[in-house]
Amino acid sequence: MELVCPAGNLPSLKAAVENGANAVYMGFRDATNARHFPGLNFNESNTAKAIELAHSRGVKVLLAVNTYPQPHNWGDWQTAVDRAAGMGFDALIAADLGVLDYAANRHPQLPLHLSVQGSATNYEALRFYHKNFGIRRAVLPRVLSLSQVRHVVENSPVEIEVFGFGSLCVMVEGRCLLSSFAAGQSPNTFGACSPAESVEWRETPNALETRLGGILIERYGKTDRAGYPTICKGRFEAGGHTYHAIEDPTSLNTLGVLPDLIKMGIAAIKIEGRQRSPAYVAEVARVWRQAIDAATRDPDHFNPKGEWNAALAKVSEGAQTTLGALHRPWQ
């Protein structure tokens, strides 16, 4: 089982490589990837440095070109695919049918992975992508239970990668419209669910307020950990109460089911967080490297260490973790 870690910048890539990642995933500094934030991602110069550094340590480098082009900017996505093919990336992660078709026909030597943004939740969809575009791996959306994941793996024509840790999304990936309502930019086409130009941090006498597109998302006290404002994780007045009406800030943590994922044949565990710090990447990669190694050696007697979960809780959203949709005892 590979450990695939996020690289939002060169320091994060170094942190992933030095702490046991088998592969890193990154994006160019434009709207072709789903973490299009100022200060993140890679230009021509540091892309070459990143690939050289990772490959010198035997670590694969995957490029995310996983947003959805529109008619007026289709050329940007073509350019991103062409650049990827010429720079030595180990695989391209894509979601849009047109991008996959272009890559498969123009650069057949470039391995293709289906992004989580493709929202493929069943093996029939994976067979379609495999037959038409030759994908070699697919990243499953974080909406399936453990038994559903197993069913997909058993019938899939390609390798399966699942998220192991990081921020959750209440939407089926690739289908979110919430931030479009607040900020006028679609995360599916612009690449950021909360564009920086629409984010506001406002100090008040009693609290720190965060807003998105002028909409009040959250108020934080002096000792609270302030998170980046997103509509889905804001507090709203609903039914006479003010609370996280859509989703509590929490992070997916699948350490508890790691032996199950290994036994069912999951090819790779993906860590979310290209927008997070190098310190986050280093800590999460270190924990997951140790956990995967331990579970691979003896899956029948694997038990997550308390120190692992404590370390992950410190970097999770809202200091909370969950198995999310993977745990559905009623199924």
Domains of the chain: 2-168+250-326 (3.20.20.70), 178-243 (no CATH)
The confidence score (pLDDT) of residue 210 equals: 93
pLDDT of 260 over the 90 cut: yes
Q: What is the percent of the chain with per-residue pLDDT over 70, rounded to a whole number?
A: 99
pLDDT of 111 over the 70 cut: yes
Which of 187-196, 204-213, 240-249 is predicted with the least confidence, judged by mean pLDDT? 187-196
Q: What average pLDDT does the segment 225-239 reach?
A: 87
Q: What is the percent of the chain with per-residue pLDDT over 90, rounded to a whole number?
A: 75
The confidence score (pLDDT) of residue 223 equals: 81
User: Kind of pairing, strands 159-167 and 251-253?
Assistant: antiparallel
pLDDT of 330 over the 80 cut: no
pLDDT of 296 over the 90 cut: yes
In this structure, what token pair is assigned to residue 319?
């200091």
Of 280 and 331, the one with more pLDDT: 280
pTM over cut 0.75: yes
pLDDT of 283 over the 70 cut: yes
Mean pLDDT of the chain: 93
Q: What average pLDDT does the segment 66-81 reach?
A: 96
- Going by pLDDT thresholds of 50, 70 and 90, the confidence category of residue 222 is confident
In this structure, what token pair is assigned to residue 163?
């998220």
Which of 63-72, 124-133, 317-326 is predicted with the least confidence, judged by mean pLDDT? 317-326
Q: What average pLDDT does the segment 68-82 reach?
A: 96
The confidence score (pLDDT) of residue 172 equals: 65
The confidence score (pLDDT) of residue 6 equals: 98
User: Kind of pairing, strands 241-243 and 236-238?
Assistant: antiparallel
pLDDT of 318 over the 80 cut: no
Tens of pLDDT, residues 7-59: 999 999 999 999 999 999 999 999 999 888 888 999 988 999 999 999 999 99
The confidence score (pLDDT) of residue 229 equals: 86
pLDDT of 227 over the 90 cut: no
The confidence score (pLDDT) of residue 288 equals: 98
